[in-house]
């Protein structure tokens, strides 16, 4: 069984300058750390004598011309299913890196801009997979993943042997394991690789990518993943990527709610909230949410980088997985309750930062009572 996080052993000798090895750096002239286990991204091949590692494009070219274990040359064309707010940015970054991309989405209108930019439309998931060495999916819900992979004409029955299937949807770890098992039976490879970073990270190619599956498969497609993200980690075997994403969503629930509560408190006691946020963001309370999401809350900018309805889906998966192992998550459950109330009020298509609206209800009610 794959040892979690371990990607390779350092084997170079007499390293000169600073050469990155996973998350570790060896500087100057040193002997090889024989047997050292390296966590994070694998050692990137450098040109020579400790000079800069190969660029993403050069690593992609290496992958494009490599032979798979089955003797096929591939990885030139990427199939991509799902052209929503996340998929669009990811596809653009693949094309910027030089990959030809063929796309499929249930609603073609959401793919028209990508077609104009050079992506090739296909009329079905099966057609999208045809001729591709890698097929990436990022769709909405677990039932959508089920349909794309297991339904009539789905990827598991239509992808050619040796294809790598990468599901980047946030979905059930159990479903990820099932896809992996069925893929192996059909001569396919599968990774679960959910992402974090929202539409901004997707557009900028800075997503965190949490992968689960076989080490050899992960390393084979790493140059593809690197076009879409920066913090790319093999978390363990099949399903480990989804479990890590659940941990991310659990942590996120408390952080978003705490930012809302800090803003609500600051308003109630008469602080200049912008000044307050600038102060506390520089201290121990600082976080990505504090820096990036809080300003949007203050501007009442609720455009979705991540839909409330999709976050509810994620939190329900996390709750189910926690129940399976006998773990109670009271903070997650309370935040889930707030978001479900918003969804029932028709606000599910807003971004998760709209949670601040729940904390403004008392203020609105107080203002109305004064008017009356």
253 lies in the same domain as 211: no
- Is the backbone of residue 67 left (phi > 0), alpha (psi -120 to 50) or beta? beta
Q: Do 279 and 146 lie in a common domain?
A: no
Range of the structural domain that residue 80 is part of: 57-236
Active-site entry in 59, 122, 220, 245:
245
| Claim to verify: residue 186 and residue 248 sit in the same structural domain | no
Boundary of a domain, candidates 236, 256, 289: 236
Orientation of helix 215-226 relative to helix 56-64, angle to 10°:
130
Q: Are 205 and 78 found together in one domain?
A: yes
- My answer on whether 223 and 113 are in the same domain is yes
The whole-angstrom separation of Cα 230 and Cα 133 is 22
Q: How far is CA 39 from CA 103, 236, 313, in A?
A: 33, 11, 31
Q: CA 111 to CA 81: how far, in whole Å?
A: 10
Task: Note whether 350 and 232 are same-domain residues.
Answer: no
Whether 122 is a known active-site residue: answer: no
One domain, residues 91 and 223: yes
User: Residues for the chain: how many in total?
Assistant: 372
Asked, for residue 85, whether it belongs to a domain, the answer is yes
In order along its 372 residues, the chain shows pLDDT tens digits of: 433 443 333 333 333 333 333 333 222 323 333 332 333 333 333 333 333 444 555 544 444 444 333 333 344 899 999 999 999 999 999 999 999 999 999 999 999 999 999 999 999 999 999 999 999 999 999 999 999 999 999 999 999 999 999 999 999 999 999 999 999 999 999 999 999 999 999 999 999 999 999 999 999 999 999 999 999 999 999 999 999 999 999 999 999 999 999 999 999 999 999 999 999 999 999 999 999 999 999 999 999 989 999 999 999 999 999 999 999 999 999 999 999 999 999 999 999 999 999 999 865 444 434 444
Q: Is residue 35 one of the residues assigned to a domain? A: no
Q: Indicate whether 251 belongs to any domain.
A: yes
Distances (CA, A) of 100 to 33, 194, 220, 273: 39, 22, 18, 47
- Kindly state whether residues 96 and 231 are assigned to the same domain: yes
pTM equals 0.78
Closest residue by Cα to residue 263 from 305, 310, 299: 299
Task: Determine, yes or no, domain membership for 196.
Answer: yes
Query: Among residues 205, 236, 267, which one ends one of the domains?
Result: 236
Give the Cα separation of 110 and 87 in Å (integer).
10
How many distinct structural domains can be found in the chain?
2
Query: 236, 264, 283: which is the final residue of a domain?
Result: 236
Instruction: Write out the two tokens for 4.
Output: 């979690």
């Amino acid at each position: 069984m794959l040892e979690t996080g371990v990607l390779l052993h350092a084997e170079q000798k007499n390293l000169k300058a600073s050469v990155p090895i996973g998350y570790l750096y060896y500087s100057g002239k040193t002997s090889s750390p024989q047997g050292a286990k390296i966590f994070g991204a694998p050692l990137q091949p450098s040109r020579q004598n400790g000079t800069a590692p190969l660029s993403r494009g050069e690593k992609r070219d290496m992958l494009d011309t490599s032979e798979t274990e089955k003797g096929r040359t591939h990885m030139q064309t990427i199939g991509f299913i799902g052209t929503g707010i996340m998929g669009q940015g990811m596809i653009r970054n693949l094309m910027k890196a030089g990959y030809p991309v063929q796309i499929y989405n249930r609603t073609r209108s959401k793919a028209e801009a990508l077609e104009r930019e050079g992506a090739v439309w296909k009329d079905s998931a099966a057609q999208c997979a045809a001729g591709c060495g890698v097929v990436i999916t990022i769709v909405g819900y677990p039932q959508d993943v089920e349909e794309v992979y297991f339904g009539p004409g789905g990827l598991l029955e239509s992808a050619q042997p040796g294809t790598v299937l990468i599901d980047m949807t946030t979905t059930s770890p159990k479903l990820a394991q099932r896809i992996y098992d069925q893929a192996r039976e059909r001569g396919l490879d599968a990774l679960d690789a959910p992402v974090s970073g929202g539409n901004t990270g997707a557009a900028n190619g800075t997503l965190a990518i949490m992968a689960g599956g076989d080490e050899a498969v992960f390393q084979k497609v790493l140059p593809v993943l690197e076009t879409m993200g920066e913090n790319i980690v093999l978390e363990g075997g099949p399903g480990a990527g989804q479990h890590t994403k659940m941990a991310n969503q659990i942590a996120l629930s408390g952080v978003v709610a705490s930012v809302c509560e800090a803003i609500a408190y600051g308003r109630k006691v008469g602080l200049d909230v912008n000044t307050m946020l600038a102060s506390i963001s520089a201290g121990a309370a600082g976080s990505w949410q504090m820096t990036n999401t809080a300003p949007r809350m203050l501007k009442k900018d609720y455009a979705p980088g991540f839909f409330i309805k999709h976050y509810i889906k994620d939190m329900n998966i996390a709750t189910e997985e926690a129940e399976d192992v006998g773990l109670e998550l009271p903070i997650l459950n309370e935040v889930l309750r707030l978001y479900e109330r918003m969804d029932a009020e028709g606000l599910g298509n807003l971004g998760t930062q709209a949670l601040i609206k729940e904390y403004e209800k008392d203020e609105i009610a107080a203002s109305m009572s004064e008017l009356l």
